[in-house]
Amino acid sequence: MATAQKEAFIIEGLAGEKKLSGTVRIHGAKNAALKAIAASVLFAGPVRLENVPKTADIETLSKILRKLGAKVEWKKGGTGKDAVDLLEIDTTTMNSIEIDAELAGSMRASVVLTGPMLARFGKVTFPAPGGCVIGTRPIDLFLSGYEKMGAMAVLDEAACVHRIEAYKNAKGTGTGKGLLAGTEIFFNKVSVGGTETLMMAAVLAEGTTVLKNCAMEPEIVNVAEWLIACGAKITGVGTPVITIEGTGGELLKPTHFYTTIPDRIETGSFLILGALLARDLTIENCRPDHVESVVSLLTEAGVPIKIGASTITISGNTAANSSFKTIADLRTHEYPGFPTDLQPVIVAYLTQVTGESKIFETIYEGRFKYVEDLKKLGASITIMNPREIEVKGPTPLRHLPGEGDLTAYDIRAGFAVVMAALSGSGTFKVINIHLIDRGYEKLEAQLSSLGAQIKRVVV
């Protein structure tokens, strides 16, 4: 869990050798759990969420809800060795519609709260969302969607906040009770956040909402299936067209627990790390079908991978990384394509593979800031433009004279830099690790269990 003090990782490199071995258990998907936490606003009573990772982002969103008056607390479910941590949320005590600016500014995902809050309370005030420095993610898509559903958005420039209020639908079909109205929305650009947020907003709306050109990520399906089990009328989830029949303001009943699916980005991260640094690695409690794009690339490259029902195993991985087949051209893509969140991680891997690779980032511009840190270690990477880089390998990684500490610029770039340091020769310090804590729970403990020499220190 992240703390207010500044911390860093001290890492002893493996000098390119595959010395890691063991088992890693995958946590719940933070990108699904965050949306389930936001969806708790749609319920008339306390909800319980299972398999929620204890990452910094989860704690931040929990704090935001507490500031709004909700009760959010960890509880134990089951007994003895079967006891598990549950996150219980009761939003019936919420007494504010103003999302805390300081907390929301630390994570972009906070904007997802606006949909459920606007649907339930008819109004919401929120700041411009913040978070990782990986390019712009405009909120116009959210605002235009709300306006189509019969809400008015006003930017209060003096307070630096957006104030949104639902009103009687201009078509004359609204109730005048501050309900959003069903409508048809086409996303000009596939958006995970837009799909999730407007889907949740539509659950309590009056009438039918049809969302087109939707994102199809498993995290969206995971949350939607829970809402459906509790009374929401949603069809088409996991396809480009989602239809929601609104309840007309009636809150959902908390009749079912929510169980977070395994984190596919954490799975992919350890799968790529294992290909680079592990002789033998078993990844358990995962969904292999959610990382098919990664498995396919690594298998084609020559990495020995075996797939189980809920496990992925790299066994007998003794060949030199330089003998692996390179990836000539790789484009990030919306699910089920190669995830943008694994782009920095695969680039760190490609620095050790023989040949040239071109990586094209289709989702977010400005996601190559971490490249300078890999180049500090001797990696041969050229930034062609804000969306394209060329990687030439293999290049031995080491701490070059005169270069400073390594920096985690965002969650996934942080993992990539840690992986590169582990692959290198010498001792490395990685700073800004509070960003890594946003997406990975106790990363140093996981890596240490595999044999890595990594420790967390206060700086």
Which amino acid makes up residue 306? K
CA angle 273, 275, 279 (to 5 degrees): 105
Does pLDDT of 240 surpass 90? yes
Taking only the tens place, the pLDDT of each residue in 412-432 is: 999 999 999 999 999 999 999
d(CA 288, CA 277): 20
- What is the rounded CA–CA span in Å between residue 202 and residue 187? 15
Average pLDDT over residues 366-393: 96
**Is 132 considered catalytic here?**
yes
pLDDT, position 139 = 82
Question: For 177-223, how does the pLDDT look when each residue is reduced to its tens digit (9 = 90+)?
Answer: 678 999 999 999 999 999 999 999 999 999 999 999 999 999 999 99
What is the rounded average pLDDT of the residues 17-37?
Answer: 98
SS3 state at 55: coil
Query: What is the distance between the alpha carbons of residues 242 and 67, in angstroms, rounded to a whole number?
Result: 32
Cβ partners under 8 Å of residue 244, min gap 6: 182, 199, 202, 203, 205, 208, 209, 210, 211, 232, 233, 234
pLDDT of residue 311: 98
Helices 411-423 and 343-350, interaxial angle, to 10°?
20
pLDDT, tens digit, 9 for 90 and up, residues 35-57: 999 999 999 999 999 999 999 99
Residue 422 contacts residue 377 (beta carbons within 8 Å): no
- pLDDT category of residue 127 using cuts at 50, 70 and 90: confident
In this predicted structure, which of 136-140, 170-174, 266-270, 287-291 has the lowest mean pLDDT?
Answer: 170-174
Domains, the chain, with CATH or none: 7-27+262-458 (3.65.10.10), 30-259 (3.65.10.10)
CA atoms of 28 and 334, how far apart (whole Å): 20
Catalytic residue among 132, 214, 230, 286: 132
Q: What average pLDDT does this structure show over 270-285?
A: 98
Q: What is the DSSP string of 363-398?
A: S-TT--TTHHHHHHTT-EEEEEETTEEEEEE----B
Half-sphere exposure of 195 (CA within 13 A, CB side): 28
Q: Which of 372, 354, 369, 370 is nearest to 416 (CA)?
A: 370
- Residue 138 reports pLDDT greater than 80: no
pLDDT greater than 90 at residue 169: no
> What are the tens digits of pLDDT across the range 297-351?
999 999 999 999 999 999 999 999 999 999 999 999 999 999 999 999 999 999 9
